[in-house]
Amino acid sequence: MSRTKIKDLLNATEFGKRVTVKGWVRTFRNNQFIAINDGSTLNNIQAVVDFTTTDEALLKRLTTGAAVSVTGELIESLGKGQRVEIKVNELEILGDSDAEKYPLQPKKHSLEFLREIAHLRFRTNTFNAVFKIRHALAFAIHKFFNDKGFVYMHTPIITGSDAEGAGEMFRVTTIDFDNVPRNDDGSVNYKEDFFGKSTNLTVSGQLEGELAAMAFGEVYTFGPTFRAENSNTTRHLAEFWMIEPEMAFYDIHDNMDLAEELLKYVIAYALENCSDELEFLKNRLLEEEKQKAQNERSELDLISKLNFCLENNFERITYTEAINILKSSKPNQKKQFKYLIDDWGADLQSEHERFLVEKHFKKPVILTNYPAAIKSFYMRRNEGDAEGKETVRAMDILFPGIGEIVGGSQREERLDVLQNRMEDLHIPVEEMDWYLDTRRFGSAPHSGFGLGFERLVLFVTGMTNIRDVIPFPRTPKNAEF
């Protein structure tokens, strides 16, 4: 018989029919009750085996983690906790699991322990829920842009440019480290390398996205990006995924509107399509909260927090307004911030972003008009204000528990202004000639943003460590699997 997925059987209304289920044993109780999960749902189905007529050697192989195939009659369950069960006629062990060695026994495991066995953690309910939600969010992102007529662009993973000007990139090379070709001055001769020049793993698909936006109008990228940043924190990864739309004829306000609409759309999609998973993660978080002091507990549970984001317009304020709020805030006055806010021009840290979102406004916040000195070269310059403060049309979206989740801007479309900015920052204009062509031929106002996918998954799942929302995290000194 062809197998039926457990998700479908749990919703069945016809009883007495013969079915086959294939999955993995979660538990085996009283020598007769097998809890089986096949990954199609968080929930298990119970299969009842008659131990009086089943080979004892076969029953001993029904250990946690073993892969099994059972065929039998689907019946209404007499026990509590399940509506249906299978009365087993045929039982086959597809793959044994040594109970003495299998690390995932039916008990609560810490997330730290599960990170050490990341190749097996998919088999737990927590990670089943997290990665089902990750899948749903990825699908929702593609659906959102597809329905709006955006063109999906695959931008290069290997690039010769540094979009952010950050310099923290992974080098891509075929050079033999034991025999490095060198120029007369001792520098590496990259003409001998595979691409004939220095190349890196991309930090962003934005610049290439801009090229496409100048032809298609509205495009987006969704792919992996890389930062060789030695940050061992709960919010940083060396390899992560980014969604980066670029839109011709959008100003900064259009950009903010699109980003807010996207975030609300994908959150609503998860709430509608991942109700079981979100309910499980909500209850998991509530259990964790019981260990905390009352004043440290979240005001809203996970599902209430997600609905709260849908029901409220994001607060929009300028960087200058944010600085004034932070300067006069209690944590700043009492020197409780790690990084005190003294003057205009300070680069906001996560603690400042979270204060604005979680304590002051108590909802998502969009910050605009940042100092030019702390932002990238491609952001459109505003005219200097009366005090000579130079700002750019940047916008960051800040979320509770996360801090910055989206960073974007209106792009600088004026060729002379962009060239001058690149020269000021010592960005090689000749190497970026291809990028400047978009300003030479039919330049137009345009905007875009980057949404860190893992930070979005972190927010929607309520997980607290970014390493728990990507299947195989890449972090300093860690590139397993």
pLDDT tens digits, 21-75: 999 999 999 999 999 999 999 999 999 999 999 999 999 999 999 999 999 999 9
What angle (nearest 5°) sits at the alpha carbon of residue 318, between those of residues 313 and 322? 95
Where are the alpha helices (H) located in 312-414, listed in sequence order?
Answer: 319-327, 330-333, 350-354
Tracing tokens 């599902």 back to the chain, one arrives at 303
Given pLDDT bands bounded at 50, 70 and 90, which one contains residue 136? Answer: very high
Given pLDDT bands bounded at 50, 70 and 90, which one contains residue 385? Answer: low
> Secondary structure of the chain: what % helix, strand, coil (to 5)?
35, 25, 40
Given pLDDT bands bounded at 50, 70 and 90, which one contains residue 384? Answer: low
Residue 455 has pLDDT above 90, yes or no: yes
Backbone angles phi, psi at 73, to 5 degrees: -95, 130
State the average pLDDT over residues 150-165.
85
SS3 (DSSP) at 158: strand
Q: What is the DSSP string of 304-334?
A: HHHHHHHHSPPEEEEHHHHHHHHHTSHHHHT
Quick one: angle between helices 453-461 and 252-273, nearest 10? 50
Domains, the chain, ranges and CATH?
A: 6-105 (2.40.50.140), 123-168+203-468 (3.30.930.10)
Burial class for 132, CB neighbours closer than 10 Å (0-12, 13-18, 19+): buried
Higher pLDDT, 322 or 231: 322
State the average pLDDT over residues 203-219.
96
Residue 162 has pLDDT above 70, yes or no: no
Given pLDDT bands bounded at 50, 70 and 90, which one contains residue 421? Answer: very high
pLDDT recorded at residue 429: 87
For the stretch 329-357, pLDDT in tens is 999 999 999 999 999 999 999 899 999 99
Residue 286 CB: number of other CB atoms within 10 A? 13
Query: What tokens appear for 207 in the block?
Result: 């610049």
Largest CA distance in the chain: 90
State the average pLDDT over residues 428-449.
94
Q: Which of 194-208, 265-279, 289-303 has the lowest mean pLDDT?
A: 289-303
State the average pLDDT over residues 74-82.
86
Of 414, 343, 348, which Cα lies nearest the Cα of 382? 414
Residue 328 CB: number of other CB atoms within 10 A? 10
128 vs 133: CA distance, rounded Å: 9
For the chain, how many helices (H) and strands (E)?
Answer: 14, 16
Long-range CB contacts for residues 386-391, cutoff 8 Å, separation at least 24: 389/320, 389/344, 389/345, 391/319
Residue 387 has pLDDT above 70, yes or no: no
Q: What percent of the chain has pLDDT over 70?
A: 98
Query: What tokens appear for 268 in the block?
Result: 């609503």
460 vs 457: CA distance, rounded Å: 5
Given pLDDT bands bounded at 50, 70 and 90, which one contains residue 163? Answer: low
Instruction: Report which residue type is found at 153.
Output: M
Given pLDDT bands bounded at 50, 70 and 90, which one contains residue 435? Answer: very high
State the average pLDDT over residues 10-15.
90
State the average pLDDT over residues 222-246.
92
Residue 164 has pLDDT above 70, yes or no: no
Cα end-to-end span (Å), the chain: 35
Tracing tokens 């001998």 back to the chain, one arrives at 192
Of 117, 110, 62, which Cα lies nearest the Cα of 88? 62
Of 56, 7, 3, which Cα lies nearest the Cα of 31? 56
pLDDT recorded at residue 13: 86
183 vs 181: CA distance, rounded Å: 7
Q: CB–CB of 325/338 below 8 Å?
A: no
255 vs 395: CA distance, rounded Å: 8
State the average pLDDT over residues 17-21.
96
344 vs 7: CA distance, rounded Å: 56
241 vs 248: CA distance, rounded Å: 23
Which residues are within 8 A (CB) of 167 and not within 5 positions of it... i.e. 6 or more apart?
A: none
Q: CB–CB of 281/129 below 8 Å?
A: yes
